[in-house]
Structure 1
């Protein structure tokens, strides 16, 4: 009986330690999700500013100016997929990859996220470029720079092929939803001319100015997608850890009840032994 009680006590201690680890992981994920949410408004504001600037720069275009000729497309379309960097996020990794998997066969795939890259390899999906999501939201712009450089390097080889983004978005109460949107080629005509305003003062030709502003806009779009993916992964991890904590608390309650019952059985056994001894003496 004593050995059984010691075993249960040890299991209770181990379960409590596991609960502490789960709580720590949940707290870290919550802090990271909050950091990314705090940065998203600034990134979106930057994208809006770039979009307005492109509209103003279009005022400098000479009437009837033909669009610059693009390099003929010779390669596959590009597909930029933002997945998960780490595990312990439930079905989140599979959800994102399931949504993007259909496009892998016909595309030059850029996959961001180490855990997603492992899962893609297990599914024997071809990945042409792989990057990592950082552990801090503040490092997302550096990651976006690497991604944009890789995209433009591929466009230099493949020509003006279309590139789409696939990334997860977390909504409170509804969980994760996977979004797909076009990223490239950049089309200035998609930005309305800023009517009623004067054109900006610049020493650059209008086409060069618009092209540079377009690069800033694309960079902002990649930053936003990366932040959404970073936030979604950590929100999913928080939900997974919350479910794990509920299970751990239930298990701990069961073990504590078992410990009390064993202790009671030990007390009862001791009382029976004492009574038996008293009867034997009498």
Structure 2
């Protein structure tokens, strides 16, 4: 009985240690999600500045030239989809939701054999392989918010390399967004072909047909300037997508840790019940043994008493 009691006690100590680990992981995930959210405003402000610059650059070229800049020689229509998954574990079904969104025909632009997937996140590779995703390139996802610009710059470089080589004509990115509910919410964003029209129609940017009193001073050819600004804007879009995905991943981890904490408490309650039951059985067994010993000590002996011989002989 004492062996079982000590075993239950050891298991309770182990579960208490696991509870501390779960609490620490939940706190780290919450801090990283909060940090990622706090950096979104800066990324979006940068995107707005670049967008305003694109609107100014559109004034330097006519409509026909801007369309020539945006249209690629697409004899072979090929699509590239960037899928942002989780780098680390304990995120529940987070990766599966993102992969399923990428495989949906609407999200994958009516996917065909020419669709190539660029996947970020080591944990998502297993789920993608199981679902038959054609992974053309993969890389680790960020584990800290400071790593987002470097990864976005790497993605932008690969994207434009393949665009110049004619290996792709359409590019989109699929990622999860922070969601206060328990479900994983995913979005798809089109990066290429680049839509210059949204900047010319923006109320904050002048129309290309309107005259400008003080046109901007440039040192580059208008088409080259516009192309570089478009690349910079796509870089900002990728930074935002990666940061949102990083925040959503940590929120999914927070939810998983909350569920794990509930399971830990349930396990502790069950072990505590087992411990009390075994302890009660041990106490009851000790009381029974003590009672049996007391009864045996107070019971008279049935063996015959030996006869005593007198010390002095009888007198006649």
TM-score, normalised to structure 2, is 0.84
1:96 aligns with 2:98: yes
- Greater Cα shift, 165-174 or 138-147: 165-174
Aligned position for 1:131: 139
CA distance in 1, matches of 2:33, 2:144: 10
Q: What does residue 86 of structure 1 align with?
A: 88
Structure 2 counterparts to residues 1-282 of structure 1, below 5 A: 1-62=1-62, 65=65, 67-68=67-68, 70-73=71-74, 74=76, 76-102=78-104, 103=108, 105-106=112-113, 107-158=115-166, 161-173=169-181, 175-192=183-200, 194-195=205-206, 198-282=214-298
- Could you give the per-residue CA deviations for residues 226-254 of structure 1, whole angstroms, max 9, x where no partner exists? 11111111100110011001110111022
Compared CA separation, residues 6 and 205, structure 1 to 2 (3 A): same
Q: Take 1:9 and 1:55, find their aligned partners in 2: how far apart are those partners?
A: 69
1:173 and 1:125, CA in 2 relative to 1: closer, same or farther beyond 3 A? closer
Q: Secondary structure at the match of 1:81?
A: strand
Report which stretch shifted further, 29-38 or 218-227: 29-38
> Structure 1 residues 222, 15: closer, same or farther in 2, change over 3 A?
same
| Post-superposition offset of 1:9 | 0.6
Alpha-carbon shift at residue 53 of structure 1 (Å): 1.2
- Determine the C-alpha separation between the residues in 2 that align with 1:197 and 1:10: 80
Count of aligned positions: 282
Q: For 1:246 and 1:93, locate their aligned partners in 2 and report how far apart those are by CA, in whole Å.
A: 23
| 1:64 positional shift | 6.2
Kindly state the Cα deviation for residue 66 of structure 1 after the two structures are TM-superposed: 5.7
Kindly indicate whether the alpha-carbon contact (under 8 Å) linking 2:84 and 2:119 is maintained by their aligned counterparts in 1: yes
Unaligned runs of 5+ in 1: none
Distance of aligned partners of 1:174 and 1:277 in 2 relative to their CA distance in 1, 3 Å threshold: closer
Bigger CA radius of gyration: 2
Matched position secondary structure for 1:183: strand
Distance apart, 1:55 and its partner CA: 0.9
Q: Secondary structure at the match of 2:175?
A: strand
Mapped contact 2:148–2:243 kept (Cα < 8 A): yes
For 2:96, what is the secondary structure of its paired residue?
helix
Partner Cα distance (1:218, 1:131) in 2: 19
Deviation at 1:90, TM superposition (A): 0.5
Task: Please report how far the alpha carbon of residue 6 of structure 1 lies from its aligned counterpart in structure 2 after TM superposition.
Answer: 0.9
- 162-171 vs 188-197, which deviates more? 188-197
In the alignment, is the contact (CA less than 8 A) between 1:57 and 1:199 conserved in 2? no
SS where residue 200 of structure 2 aligns? coil
Q: Sort the Cα spacing of 1:18 and 1:163 in 2 relative to 1 into closer, same or farther, 3 A.
A: same
